[in-house]
Structure 1
């Protein structure tokens, strides 16, 4: 969270839902992350390359694959100076960089976006629940790209993924809800959301999926954030252990230490449960 003012973001919300204990280590205790997965590093670097490309388009500057690739490599190298990048079995640094460059080249072959309004625009918007009550902590959302359409605005979200997205993936995600709510609160306009997925399959491809959100979705977002805030205030943090969560988690050791600090309950501490005799009576067949 921001040091200047506490706020919620999609990444913070989704992190608590994914693993409250990881949220606690990173956002409550502020334990610095010493490692990151190659997938996150690749996604960040690809976003940097895309942002460079879109800014040049918006400012009507000359665009070139070299400038886009440079932005990608600069972001990758900057991350390497801060964190150790963990690669999956069979992957290597050179393979990941080559894959990222190839995905960017693939996107640059697409028709360029038109009527660009903003690139990586940051919003800070008040949140309200489904009863119209405003929450104390606002929402921060940073859009990858905003373009104009005949019907208004469109937020374009870019993803790198090892698989194609489904309609359900985008329909059930909270991220478009965050964008739609932020644009409505800050700009007073309605917006749609389009996912552009750079799919890292054997034959890479660009996938586009559109989705919409409505007032009731934004109210539900506020309800969810309000519930998470109450849980955080009460200190409710616990691990959600799964191969997906734990394999590349930078807080694996603090997590194990947390588990060791919770000693088993001794048998002598257990209080016998008194059950009324009438409750033990079996009904006749």
Structure 2
């Protein structure tokens, strides 16, 4: 049985050798401080929305950030400064019209997509049988689901481009999950980008995933499964490796 997720697929597309270290060898890594902060901001937003109480969201953020039940790599940043930065981001977002106008059905919406491999078509196909316990699956957790689309929250230091949201495989897979659930042929997606600056900014980017996106995404997943089955795990060096690769000390390819 094959078990995939958007993060697994994204990891393989970014660097197959990193996928090997993380998911085949299961080598544990130290959580990045910025990623830790981003997770806490997500929890703060979800709590504030579900309880319709901004203060509850802020308290949840602080609780989550300070829990630190694992080792964190702060990359020479002071944790207290990162905490304040995340808190500032969260407060600006919770006070925005964007947040106040949200109409969400579910947060942390979990979807499993059972699928089979169609070798002759070089793609994957959904399985709709009642018993899919032993089926291949893609496990998705959406930040937020609306009546007919998806909202995803991102924390970053820089604005995104429209190309980034169009090419992000994570969003394609989320849309594929919506297609599986309700047969929706076009899935609108909003990315709410929370930009950490001296004066935090909120950027809203939108895209719509269509049948062509679904077709290409299924084919990509098929090819990745084949590559993993054939143990194709090569390094993909790039300018982000030095600061962001968790396995640079193990990598045989030095940038």
User: Under TM normalisation by the shorter chain, which class is it?
Assistant: 0.7 to 0.9
Do residues 255 (structure 1) and 251 (structure 2) align?
Answer: yes
Q: Return the match for 2:54 from 64, 73, 83.
A: 64
The root-mean-square deviation of aligned C-alpha atoms, in Å, is: 2.3
**C-alpha separation in 1, matches of 2:72 and 2:124:** 43
SS in 1 for 2:38: helix
1:95 corresponding residue in structure 2: 81
Structure 1 position 43, deviation (Å): 1.2
Structure 1 position 254, deviation (Å): 2.9
Contact 1:36 1:248 in 2 (8 A): no
SS in 1 for 2:125: coil
**C-alpha separation in 1, matches of 2:11 and 2:242:** 13
SS in 1 for 2:215: helix
Mean Cα displacement is larger for which, 244-253 or 217-226? 244-253
**C-alpha separation in 2, matches of 1:114 and 1:247:** 35
1:42-191 counterparts in 2 under 5 A? Answer: 42-57=37-52, 63-65=53-55, 67-78=56-67, 80-88=68-76, 91-111=77-97, 112-127=100-115, 133-134=124-125, 137-148=136-147, 153-189=148-184, 190-191=186-187
Structure 1 position 166, deviation (Å): 1.4
Structure with greater Cα Rg: 1
Structure 1 portions without partners, runs of 5+: 58-62, 261-285
Contact 1:86 1:248 in 2 (8 A): no
**C-alpha separation in 1, matches of 2:245 and 2:162:** 28
Structure 1 position 116, deviation (Å): 2.0
Structure 2 portions without partners, runs of 5+: 127-134
Contact 1:116 1:147 in 2 (8 A): yes
Structure 1 position 81, deviation (Å): 2.3
**C-alpha separation in 1, matches of 2:226 and 2:169:** 19
SS in 1 for 2:141: strand
Could you list the runs of 4 or more consecutive aligned residues of structure 1 that deviate by over 3 angstroms after TM superposition? 126-133
SS in 1 for 2:232: coil
